[in-house]
Amino acid sequence: MPVDFSRHAAARTSGLTAALAALALGLAACGGGGGDGPGGGNPGGSGQPASMDALLGDWLQKGCVSAGAQSYKRLLRAQRTSDNSIDYYEGVITYGGAECTGAGQQVGPSKLGTVGFSRSEGNGDLSAYWGEYVTVINFRSGAIWTVRSNNLLCLLGDEIPSIQPSLSDVASSLATVPQSSCFTR
């Protein structure tokens, strides 16, 4: 009996689509906690625009994720594609033990999409970059990338238009995000 490869390709594509949609929804779920909603806060804020250069390069998840006798950390890579956008990649570093120690093995990263930033704001403790995340399958969602003064990159989900329009709204949301889910250099 001949094998219908088109059916297998559709299953792989469907699985990839579901995984990317789950990732995008997970990022969106990290947002919230903004308190004032879309009309509140100070959209202009008092902070200065922040340089997108702070986002670029490779970042490693601060926390360790154990999976049985193995463990891993997510690897995030941001590469500039224009003055206000980046290509967003993720992979993992896997470890033989349950504590993310010893020599790790890198898998990936693979491109997940592009983030186009529309504005940024920062002060001495926090820089925030508001934009739109577009996955490789053209799913769109709001996104806020943040860098704390201790060189910690955290990603927040958002809506379009933003439900976290000010730096203080973003700081309130970050207070609910465990630092172990953020990234460091």
Nearest-CA neighbor of 173 among 182, 160, 185? 182
* Cα–Cα distance list, 22 to 16, 17, 178 (Å): 10, 9, 20
Tens digits of pLDDT across the chain (185 residues): 444 433 333 433 333 333 333 333 344 334 333 333 333 333 344 577 889 999 999 999 999 999 999 999 999 999 999 999 999 999 999 999 999 999 999 999 999 999 999 999 999 899 999 999 999 999 999 999 999 988 999 999 999 999 999 999 999 999 999 999 999 99
Cβ 184 vs Cβ 60: under 8 Å: yes
**Cα dihedral 91→97→100→102 (10° resolution):** -100
d(CA 142, CA 85) in angstroms, rounded, equals: 14
- What pLDDT shows up at residue 94? 98
- What pLDDT shows up at residue 5? 37
